[in-house]
């Protein structure tokens, strides 16, 4: 195909080939910042390839409906409006067919086709994803975990707004074969509509229903100078489990490693069980991490301040 580029996504060299310059430009916006990564942490052995083919206008028009995925023994099939996707985690190769109509929905295309495929292919070896956001500062890696709707994205945006570098938005990938390290990809933050009341600057953004049925306000960070850096960090680890318990309990309180591990495994997003040995990665994380429980029933500003204080200790 005429357009080809390589990006070390999650430290794994990913070659993306396409027949359409619009896909090439979008991939450069999404993954170009990975080229700033230190060569010393790039995987010297494993690679991946993703081919993205934009079909002709003469192809049958796409059917309406949600994008859906099916998993079987390392193979993933995805289909949706104008999308047909195949990825084989065993070989590190993926192929997507995109109807020209699908190019009009850039958010669906980037998050549920291109980024989804890239993360499938680059998490095959020692990159086990857990349902958590992550930031890093002052030699400390802070992970925010808990069930969907618990406030992770709201607090992540609050920390990013305060100048704390983001490592991962929805899935933090744990590497533990050697030194414990967190990897993550960030091109934006999907927030619940209720988050707008805490951040007035978001009031001009529209909401939309995502393919998973959730309604989100999307803050685009792709290609924004200064807001992104290659998503990897190591150092001191702090894990905060978010819970909506009431005010009689402290804002922040210690949590046992055993309880933290159980919550991480219980709150996995559907599909993450197909990404390798998550349980082993969770055990490695909680063995090293300082674990806390944070009450998101408290005001957002107080929660953000408490998390920033953890990063300063």
Q: Select the more confidently predicted residue: 37 or 276.
A: 37
Listed in sequence order, the residues at least 6 apart from 177 whose beta carbon sits closer than 8 Å to its beta carbon are 126
What's the confidence (pLDDT) of residue 223?
62
Q: Which residue has the tokens 């993550």?
A: 184
CA dihedral 77, 78, 83, 87 (to 10 degrees): -50
Q: Which residue has the tokens 């390392």?
A: 74
pLDDT band at 40 (very low <50, low <70, confident <90, very high): very high
Lowest-confidence pick of 42-46, 208-212, 215-219, 271-275: 271-275
Q: Select the more confidently predicted residue: 313 or 93.
A: 93
Span 252-275, mean pLDDT? 84
> Phi-psi region for residue 65, left (φ > 0), alpha (ψ -120 to 50) or beta?
left
CATH architecture group of domain 128-312? 3-Layer(aba) Sandwich (3.40)
C-beta of residue 74 within 8 angstroms of C-beta of residue 88: yes
What's the confidence (pLDDT) of residue 115?
96
DSSP 110: I
List of E strands, 165-297: 166-168, 171-175, 181-183, 188-191, 207-209, 215-220, 232-233, 236-243, 252-254, 290-295
What's the confidence (pLDDT) of residue 245?
65
Domain segments of the chain as ranges: 3-122, 128-312
In this predicted structure, the answer to whether residue 62 has a pLDDT above a threshold of 70 is no
What's the confidence (pLDDT) of residue 296?
87
In this predicted structure, the answer to whether residue 309 has a pLDDT above a threshold of 70 is yes
Separation of alpha carbons 118 and 122, rounded Å: 6
Which string of DSSP letters, residue by residue, matches 35-62?
Answer: GGS-GGGS-SS--EEEEEEEPPTTSPPP
pLDDT digits (tens, 9 = 90+) for 107-151: 889 999 999 999 999 999 999 999 999 999 999 999 999 888 788
pLDDT digits (tens, 9 = 90+) for 195-254: 889 998 998 888 887 777 788 899 998 865 455 677 899 999 999 999 876 555 678 999
Global confidence as pTM: 0.92
Q: Where does the chain have alpha helices with state H? A: 21-31, 106-109, 115-122, 152-161, 257-266, 278-288, 300-312
What's the confidence (pLDDT) of residue 243?
87
pLDDT digits (tens, 9 = 90+) for 227-237: 567 789 999 99
């Amino acid at each position: 195909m005429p357009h080809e580029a390589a990006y070390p996504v999650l430290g794994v060299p990913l070659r993306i080939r396409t027949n359409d310059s619009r896909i090439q430009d979008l991939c450069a916006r999404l993954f170009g910042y990975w080229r700033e990564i230190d060569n010393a942490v790039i995987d010297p052995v494993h690679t991946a390839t993703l081919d993205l083919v934009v079909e002709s206008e003469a192809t049958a028009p796409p059917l309406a409906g949600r994008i859906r995925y099916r998993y079987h023994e390392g193979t993933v099939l995805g289909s949706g409006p104008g999308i047909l996707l195949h990825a084989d985690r065993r070989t590190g190769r993926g192929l997507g067919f995109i109807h020209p109509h699908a190019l009009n929905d850039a958010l669906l295309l980037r998050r549920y086709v291109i980024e989804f495929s890239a993360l499938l292919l680059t998490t095959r070896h020692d990159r086990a994803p857990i349902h958590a956001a992550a930031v890093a500062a002052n030699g400390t890696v802070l992970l925010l975990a808990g069930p969907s709707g618990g406030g992770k994205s709201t607090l992540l945006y609050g920390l990013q707004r305060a100048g704390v570098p983001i490592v991962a938005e929805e899935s933090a990938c744990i590497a533990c074969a050697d030194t414990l390290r967190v990897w993550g990809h960030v091109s934006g933050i999907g927030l619940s509509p209720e988050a707008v009341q805490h951040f007035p600057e978001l009031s001009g953004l529209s909401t939309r229903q995502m393919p998973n049925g959730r309604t989100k306000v999307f803050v685009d960070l792709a290609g924004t100078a200064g807001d992104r850096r290659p998503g990897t960090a190591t150092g001191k680890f702090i894990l905060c489990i978010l819970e909506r318990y009431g005010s009689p309990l402290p804002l922040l309180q210690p949590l046992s490693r055993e309880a933290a591990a159980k919550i991480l495994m219980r709150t996995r997003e559907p599909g993450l069980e197909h990404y390798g040995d998550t349980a082993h990665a969770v055990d490695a994380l909680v063995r090293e991490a300082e674990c806390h429980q944070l009450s998101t029933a408290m005001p957002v500003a107080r929660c953000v301040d408490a998390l920033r204080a953890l990063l300063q200790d």
